Chains A and B, each alone.
Chain A
Amino acid sequence: MLIYICIMSIPVSTLFSFDEFLLLVSSELLLADNKVSTNTVFRKLLGWSSLNALLLISKLNELFGIFISSADLAEITTLGEFYDLISKRVNGTK
């Protein structure tokens, strides 16, 4: 719950750090531990499902006003790439 409150307090359009992104992923995918890193393949995470992926995408939209499509996700593999995509979308470079 504490993780969730911390993330919700981030101002819209202010990109969070990679560690904060990992906390968000852990929270939305209901991961029991935080053993995730830049190289983690997000589709192989235990909590990854169509519903949890949608929850993560909707949370990113709520926080930053960005849209990540299923085609965007198909082009990336790791959480590091996911974070890069978010950074570029927030900065308007992709």
Chain B
Amino acid sequence: MALSKLAGFELSGSVIVHPANTQDNSNLEEFSETEKEQLIHHTGIKFRKIVEANTQIIDYFEHGINHLLDQLKWDVSEIDVLICVTQNIQTSIPSLSCKLHGELNFSQNTLCFDINSGCSGFVYGVHNAMSILQSLMKQHAKAILCCGDFSSQLINQNDKSTIPVFSDAISVTGLTSNQNELASFFNLETDGSGRKAIYVENQFMHLNGIDVFNYSLKLVPNHLKALLNFAEIENLAQEVFVFHQANKLINDALVKRLSLNPEKVPSTLYEYGNTASASIPLSLGIFSRSEPISKVVLCGFGVGFSLASAVVHLSPNFSFSIVEL
């Protein structure tokens, strides 16, 4: 168990960038009508966002950062930390964050690095960003956290287990100090025995749905209970829980197992599918449009097998937007 606590930081706002191109699981040629109905019903996924084959993920992150800076009225020179969480294989040397630093003229004082993480990546990124911001001992320190993958570029078009699930989107989130020194709580864990549940081999992603289900149901409930106990949260029905959007079968089972209030657990699976590390900021942002949120429980789980949950605070002025390219 890796529990930790950081005081004084909040999420200021998020931007999601996704392609306009949308694929409908009702139109999948490889599946029979019955299979398609079952698939949409049980995975909860009808639509997926899919980029063109040669689209570069760095272009999406650039759009997202520029949009977020305008949205939050931040200047690029103010940014202390820039982190990219991605498992995209297009660009690993140099890191995406260093490339973005150069393209967008960040300050030399801006600390940059990438994190290789998927489903749990947003929470790992928030933890890293807040830890560094705290260490700076600086008022109004600011971080930008970029998350996401173009998973469609890793899909074998003959693989019926991955085609209907994964979707392309990225998120860009701003973090800064909050006035009330409110504490954030984290639980970051790994069970490497589950490393074969989702993996890339010979350029293609492989998904073992049964093992992902088993690891999720075995590990996530106790993982989350440890976090909630640490954060002294008892009344679960009142809390907003934003889970990684794996599929409806897993997420519904977790809600039931933890006795959560389904109305406080947003899902974006139907419209967006599984958008890897962008799925938590996407679901959080959309939910924040319908209900003001000051505090939220986040939970990412998947490829690794990696688990990351957090209790974090949102700025009273938290802003969210979606950009379609």
Complex contact A61–B209 (CB within 8 A): no
In the complex, whether B5 has a CB less than 8 A from a CB of chain A is no
Report the minimal beta-carbon distance from A66 to chain B, rounded to whole angstroms. Answer: 10
Residues of A within 8 A of B42 (CB): 51, 54-55
In the complex, whether A70 has a CB less than 8 A from a CB of chain B is yes
Residues of B within 8 A of A54 (CB): 42, 209-210, 213, 249
Residues of A within 8 A of B249 (CB): 54-55, 58
Question: Could you give, for residues 249-261 of chain B, a 1 whenever the CB lies within 8 Å of some chain A CB and a 0 otherwise?
Answer: 1000100000000
In the complex, whether A19 has a CB less than 8 A from a CB of chain B is no
Report how far A49 CA is from B209 CA in the complex, Å: 11
Given A49-B35, A49-B160, A51-B42, check contact A69 B209 (CB 8 Å). Answer: no
In the complex, whether B156 has a CB less than 8 A from a CB of chain A is no
Given A54-B213, A54-B249, A73-B210, check contact A67 B218 (CB 8 Å). Answer: yes
Interface size range of chain A in the complex: 10 to 19
State the total of A-B contacts with C-beta under 8 angstroms.
48
Given A58-B249, A61-B217, check contact A51 B35 (CB 8 Å). Answer: yes
Report how far A50 CA is from B208 CA in the complex, Å: 9
Interface pairs (28), CB distance under 8 Å: A30-B38, A49-B35, A50-B161, A51-B35, A51-B38, A51-B39, A51-B42, A51-B43, A51-B161, A51-B209, A52-B38, A54-B42, A54-B249, A57-B210, A57-B214, A58-B213, A58-B253, A61-B213, A61-B214, A61-B217, A62-B253, A67-B217, A67-B218, A68-B210, A68-B214, A69-B214, A70-B211, A73-B210
- Known A-B contacts: A53-B209, A69-B210. Give 13 more (CB < 8 A): A49-B35, A50-B160, A50-B210, A51-B209, A52-B38, A53-B210, A55-B249, A57-B213, A57-B214, A61-B253, A62-B253, A70-B208, A73-B210
